[in-house]
Amino acid sequence: MNAPDRLPASPEPHVMKTYGRLPVALSHGRGCWVWDTEGRKYLDGLGGIAVNTLGHAHPKLVPALTEQIGKLIHTSNYYLVPLQEQLAAKLCELSGLTNVFFCSTGLEANEAALKIARKYGHDKGVERPEIVVYEAAFHGRSIATLSATGNPKVQAGFGPLVEGFVRVPLNDVAAIEKVAAMNKNVVAVFLEVIQGEGGVKPTTIEYLKAVRRVCDANGWLLILDEVQCGMGRTGKWFAHQWAGIRPDVMPLAKGLGSGVPVGAIVCGPKAADVFGPGNHGTTFGGNPLAMRAGVETIRIMEEDGLLANAATVGAALKAGLERELAGIKGVADIRGQGLMIGIELDRPCGELLGRAASAGLMISVTADKVVRLLPALILSADEAAQIVAILCPLIKDFLAAPTAATPASS
């Protein structure tokens, strides 16, 4: 065949090609449902990747943000922003920690946490401070957070990476105890309570308690990355609270503003005074619109009992998936907590994104083989049942297809 005179025009000729997008353009949403520009309806099982805590067009959030837009969107951090103190006080109340720095994204929150760890080390006289990080971790795509990330695929092409990280396996107490015995430059542990991009892999309660003990014994900071698993997603405000511990530094973002970009680092007494004037800053972080979004998100979560809903509906969703996929060859594991659930298959399954969209369901695939669900915390039991009814036949058909009969080699 002769090549066509002209290839089909890209729908986004001026947008940098950094995403493998599906051919779907979304128009509007309400609750846990969205519609595309062609009028097709989708059940949102992704929640903007754990961002849309209150779903879409929440009837309590929209008027509050509309009011704020009519007053002030942005000023600058040269001036007091009363809503910063209001949101910071609430986050300290919920976490039992001491103070907060506001930024705009999870990446920025994690960068700030790394800076705190390094300065904490220097303040203690450690000339080249090092930080314990984890295999399969994901903390962001800046050079520093990329270096802390444990995924060679996303690191490829961006070397040299930042030094000063010591990598260990997740949930291996002996490994971190060995680091403590052998490496006197370590000043902090940087840990996701549930690895999101790494495949929805939970840190065990026993391991969290052990790491807290190791940090206390060695004078290290415990930094718990709650960017994806925090803000009520597991049924508690923060996932580490299931273990009954407190971190020294806790990065937050994603669900904190229910779609408005809000990031934060919440610090306990050991880290609260590491930063002084001029040590860190931001232009957009903590602006009045973002802070109002955070304040209203938490208020609505409390009023509407969304932590309990995440726990109850999440358990029902997980149970439904386990029931429908029981005994299916190729389903390796179903794991997670609350409304953060991963279904690990025995082969790469990225094509399920398109199949799910065609069936009216929005999902994610992470770590190549894990179907990830991160719906809004307002998800109802009926909507959870609909996710199961749509997704499980797609997974069964995918695993039964001849082209997927042989698992890909790792």
Six token digits for residue 226: 């709650």
Residue 370 CB-half CA count within 13 A: 19
Terminal alpha carbon distance of the chain: 36
CA distances from 303 to 60, 274, 308, 309, 375 (A): 10, 35, 11, 12, 19
Indicate which residues carry an active-site annotation.
Answer: 138, 225, 254
Q: How far apart are CA 152 and CA 399, in angstroms?
A: 27
